[in-house]
């Protein structure tokens, strides 16, 4: 009986909230856009990327070589995510073998 009462209370709380959220979405979708839409505002301007070779300003061969080595040896984020996914799948596979293996004592 308590479970039914608890479910009833939850439904009475959730249904009005869902109906209210639906009404707000319809109100926002019916608002027309301004007739003179302009994208020249500072908020809508696209920023150009910064120069990727900023360290060349120092004209230091050691710094250039260090950054070249770091870029070459640093794996990308996608490669790192793939390695993590592979290691997790190997861990699941090995844990399945460990859990699934049963060593029965010999019955003599």
How sure is the predictor about 72, in pLDDT bands with cuts at 50, 70 and 90?
confident
Distance in angstroms (rounded) separating the CA atoms of residues 12 and 5: 11
CA angle (54, 55, 60) in 5-degree steps: 150
Q: Which residue has the higher pLDDT, 48 or 76?
A: 76
The whole-model pTM stands at 0.30
Q: How distant, in Å, are the alpha carbons of 77, 84, 93, 98 from that of 90?
A: 20, 10, 5, 12
Query: pLDDT tens, 5-57?
Result: 777 777 777 777 776 666 555 566 666 666 666 655 555 555 555 677 888 88
- The pLDDT score that the predictor gives to residue 39 is 59
Q: Give percent above pLDDT 90 in the chain.
A: 9
Q: How distant, in Å, are the alpha carbons of 91, 95, 103 from that of 99?
A: 12, 6, 11
Distance in angstroms (rounded) separating the CA atoms of residues 85 and 91: 10
Listed by start position, the domains of the chain span 1-30, 58-102
């Amino acid at each position: 009986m308590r479970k039914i009462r608890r479910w009833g209370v939850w439904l009475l709380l959730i249904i009005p909230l869902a109906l209210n959220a639906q009404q707000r979405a319809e109100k926002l979708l019916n608002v027309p856009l301004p007739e003179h839409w302009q994208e020249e505002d500072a908020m809508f301007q696209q920023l150009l990327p910064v120069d990727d070779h900023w360290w060349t300003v120092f004209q230091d061969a050691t710094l250039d070589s260090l950054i070249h080595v770091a870029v070459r040896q640093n794996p990308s984020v996608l490669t790192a995510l793939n390695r993590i996914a592979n290691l997790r799948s190997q861990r699941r596979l090995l844990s399945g073998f460990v859990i699934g293996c049963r060593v029965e004592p010999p019955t003599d």
